[in-house]
Chain A
Amino acid sequence: MIRLSDVMVRSNLILERAAEKAEFKKPRTVFSCAHKDRRVLWRDMLYGDTWSQPKKHASLFVTIFKEPSYEQLRLKAQKRSGCRVFNLHDILDLPDKISVHLPPEIISLRKAIEKSRSILEQKEDWDDAESVSESTWNRAAQFLMRNALKLWRSHKTCFDPPKIRAVGDGTIDLHWKSPTRELLISVPTGSQEPIGYYGDDRAEGTTNAVRGKDLESSKDAEWIFLWLTQ
């Protein structure tokens, strides 16, 4: 026998869901509580041996960073895969208890990047030194993390953390040096200025060196970092 209270609870639930759906259908331009403070319940991705494998039935509240152009795509990808799709801010800002589930190579890179934040406070008054701006540091950090993730996705490998140093003219050097290979990347002060680079195998000298002025948009980036890992 169906009780009246059960029917009322059920119908209230249906009405709530319908209202919720209607709220999310509203365009972003319309003021809506759904878009105003969107919090999404995600399944935990920290499960098993790989960081991208979702853990069933475990839940985690995560605030979504609003990136107007990519957020929708990210949401769709997350819904389809059941995995959390990270953006660069996520990776750099993840709390340690979550980041330990990232690949160790990426964790060490992330730690090196975090450590390099100290160059923002450096006062190099011993010369005509210009301090590094936060935007330049962010550009360097995101450039490194973006390429590390790209390399991890495509080749399941990651490069060693570079020496990250302020140059004194406001730019940042990313420098890798091994007994055989050397790569120097220069991140300039202006956001529109291209990232210059030079790398070579010391045994070969400058003959097969890689050099250029715009590593961000160059196809060289992926294989340069792969070359560094070998």
Chain B
Amino acid sequence: MADAVDSWSSEEIPAEDHLWMRVHRNDLEDGEILPRAFRNRPKDTDGMSTDWEKYRTAQDTRNDGRVAPGNYAVIRLNVGEVREIPDQTVVHTPDLEKQNRAHTDVFGVKNPQARVLLIRAATIVIPL
């Protein structure tokens, strides 16, 4: 097993790249994503966690949830489209604690407009 890394620098993510995000089965209904899937955690002032495709696969993202992978679908978001949504910023924030170099936060208030537009920007790549 590789040794744990003690620092990763934050990189600029190109607009054409994609992000993976887990969506819990409770946040899906009839195969559609509910607006509540998009929120900042654990607090409103924090960001919405995603993984940059450069360092992780969609399956890796699915496997990294709190509960069994079968409880999650994985969606893909285009970085450029996310940045076009008002007040949303995409920042590469590697997570040393969880040894996740792909970790990326989408900061900005997840108001109704942001959540509706995030649904439209999302594509389900691994369904339930």
Show the binding face of A for B, using Cβ within 8 Å: 124, 126-128, 163, 165-169, 173, 175, 182, 184-186, 196-198, 200, 206, 209, 211, 213
What is the minimal beta-carbon distance from A193 to any residue of chain B, in angstroms? 12
Bound CA span A196–B41, Å: 20
CB < 8 Å neighbour of B35 from A128, A169, A175: A175
If over half of A's interface residues share one DSSP class (helix, strand or loop), that class is named, otherwise mixed; here it is strand
Contact B116 A198 (CB under 8 A): yes
Question: Within 8 Å CB of A200, what residues of B?
Answer: 116
CB distance B41 to A198 under 8 Å? no
- Contact of B98 with A by CB under 8 A: no
How many of chain B's residues touch chain A, expressed as a range? 10 to 19
B36 near A184 (CB under 8 angstroms)? no
Nearest residue, chain B, Cβ from A129: B26
Q: Is B71 an interface residue (CB 8 A)?
A: yes
In the complex, given contacts A126-B26, A126-B67, A168-B39, what are 16 additional A-B residue pairs having Cβ atoms less than 8 angstroms apart?
A126-B24, A126-B71, A128-B41, A163-B29, A168-B36, A173-B34, A173-B35, A175-B34, A182-B116, A184-B116, A185-B112, A186-B111, A196-B111, A196-B112, A200-B116, A213-B111
Say how far B112's CB is from chain A's closest CB, in angstroms.
Answer: 4
A197 and B117 in contact (CB under 8 A), knowing A168-B36, A169-B44? no
What's the Cα separation between A136 and B49 when bound, in Å?
27
Query: Which chain A positions have C-beta within 8 A of B42?
Result: 128
Chain A residues near B112 (CB-CB < 8 A): 184-186, 196-198, 211
Cβ distance B39 to chain A, nearest Cβ, rounded Å? 6
Contacts of B41 on A, CB cut-off 8 Å? 127-128
How many angstroms between the C-alpha atoms of A127 and B72 in the bound complex? 12
**A residues in contact with B117, CB < 8 Å:** 206
A213 to B112, CA, bound (A): 9
Minimum C-beta distance from B2 to chain A (A): 30
Q: Given A126-B67, A165-B34, A184-B116, decide whether A198 and B111 contact each other with a Cβ distance below 8 A.
A: yes
Q: Which residues of A contact B26 (CB under 8 A)?
A: 124, 126
Q: Which 3 A-B residue pairings sit nearest by Cβ, starting from the closest?
A: A198-B112, A198-B113, A184-B112
A196 contacts across to B, CB distance below 8 A: 111-112
A209 lies within 8 A of B113 (CB): yes
| Minimum C-beta distance from A215 to chain B (A) | 10
Measured in the bound complex, the distance between the Cα atoms of B12 and A136 in whole Å is 40
CB-defined contacts of A126 to chain B, threshold 8 Å: 24, 26, 66-67, 71
